Structure 1
Amino acid sequence: MDKIGYMGIPGSFSEVAANELIAEAGMTEAELVPLVCAKNILEAMQKGEIQYGVLGVENSTAGPVGEFVHTFENISYEKLGVYVLPIHHCLFKKPGADTTSLKEVASHPQALRQTVNTRKEKFPTLTEHEIEDTAIGAEMLAKGTLPETTAAICSARAGKLWNLEMVAENIEDSSENRTTFWLLKLI
């Protein structure tokens, strides 16, 4: 069975893209492995722990995904598939937390860049807290790793998975916000 590493954890946009890419590639015997970031995917491929990786490479609003560019810039790989995923961000808080007490918003740097104008308009007092993945932000908030004064930007799916309370949906700056994901292997 092929193992396919993806950026993020269950509930992430990358997990959705990974499922679509393996379906398009006809990989019926595949196991998805959540590896959070591009560096972890590269290391797992180099060690032979996974055969393929699914990585976000570019967003229509925020541009190239920096961690992919920096991690794979001098690596030989073959691109096996491309999937473009519409990205809709939501703002979640811990259930019961007072919306007016929110002080910061935690998310992946790409998500923060994709929502900067909307946040300036609707949530101007929230400071940014960069984390490794949007779905990890939801998990951290749900488990109390992030304080109740923090909101998380993630997919609706991730927020619901972690039983968070939605404050706002579709907070991306562009209704045409899309991320391109690649399925690749090392050569």
Structure 2
Amino acid sequence: MTVITLGPEGTFSHELALKLGNGPVVLEPTIHSIFAAVAAGEGDGIVPIENSEAGGVGETLDGLTQYSLSITAEMYMPIHHNLASLVPLDKIRVIYAHPQTHEQCSGCIEDWKVPVIHTSSNASSALEARKTPNAGAILSVSAAAIYRLPIIAEHVENNPENTTRFVRISKTPNPTCRAGKCSILIDPDTDRAGLLYDLLGVFARRGINLSRIESRPSKRGMGKYVFFLDYAVSGCTDEALRELEGITTIRKLGCYPKTEVPA
């Protein structure tokens, strides 16, 4: 199966896809284009969905809202960032970084007091730094090697335990999953006091563990949100979903196992 993920060569997504080794890898310039390619039947996608430091990845959450695709696996990858440049730190006048990378490395960036320009990926940061005089880029060790940028500061992330959760997206959902995690999208069609309390109570009354809840603008106006929920698979899951469907509109995003990432 072809795996579609974020390019250019040298992104963390690309590195993960190569480690998993599930088939040929196709690189797309944006997360949105990954979703479009998967929806067109060109393969499965691997996309980042949340980071332990910076939180949810908006482009991925929006893609799950816009496209009728399923999550079929999740993977966790330690993320370590480095500052790379053709010049010493005191000569750097601008740093290129992906917005999530910027947030994950905000402490060092504040200390350096150097302006930051956002890019579409860490690999794009490397490309910009190579062609811009007195520029640096925050990226992975592999990207620094690919684009021949010397690393001048290692492990510049705020938290040494920095981790990104990735998911595999597919046109076809997993068969019935009896272990692991499930995800759903809740799109409330009403706005009333106690709605969120009632939604969460469906799971609480059955002892179902919610591992994540996140809101995202619905794009239908100020104050209108959709909610993403992850929960552990249990014997009461189907019953809980039936009750939930009686309260609001939901879309099942899939039940899936955790895939271990080779070192």
TM-score of the two chains, using structure 2 as the length reference: 0.62
For residue 184 of structure 1, the aligned residue among 142, 165, 169 is 169
The 1:63–1:152 alpha-carbon spacing in structure 2 relative to 1, beyond 3 Å, is same
Q: What letter corresponds to residue 104 of structure 1 in structure 2?
A: V
1:112 partnered with 2:102 = yes
1:47 partnered with 2:37 = no
**d(CA) in 1 for partners of 2:59 and 2:12?**
16
Q: State the shift of 1:118 in Å.
A: 2.1
1:88 partnered with 2:73 = no
1:3 corresponds to: 2
**How well do the aligned residues superpose, as a CA RMSD in angstroms?**
1.5
1:102 corresponds to: 92
Deviates most, 71-80 or 110-119: 71-80
Q: State the shift of 1:66 in Å.
A: 1.5
SS of the aligned residue for 2:38 comes to helix
**d(CA) in 2 for partners of 1:163 and 1:33?**
22
1:79 partnered with 2:64 = no
Are 1:104 and 1:150, in contact at CA under 8 Å, matched by a contact in 2? yes
**d(CA) in 1 for partners of 2:19 and 2:71?**
15
Q: State the shift of 1:46 in Å.
A: 2.7
2:51 corresponds to: 59
Q: How many residues get paired?
A: 172
2:134 corresponds to: 149
**d(CA) in 1 for partners of 2:125 and 2:157?**
17
Q: Which has the higher contact order (CA 8 A, sep 6+)?
A: 1
Are 1:80 and 1:183, in contact at CA under 8 Å, matched by a contact in 2? yes
Q: State the shift of 1:98 in Å.
A: 4.2
TM-score of the two chains, using structure 1 as the length reference: 0.85
Q: State the shift of 1:128 in Å.
A: 1.3
Greater C-alpha radius of gyration = 2
Q: State the shift of 1:119 in Å.
A: 1.8
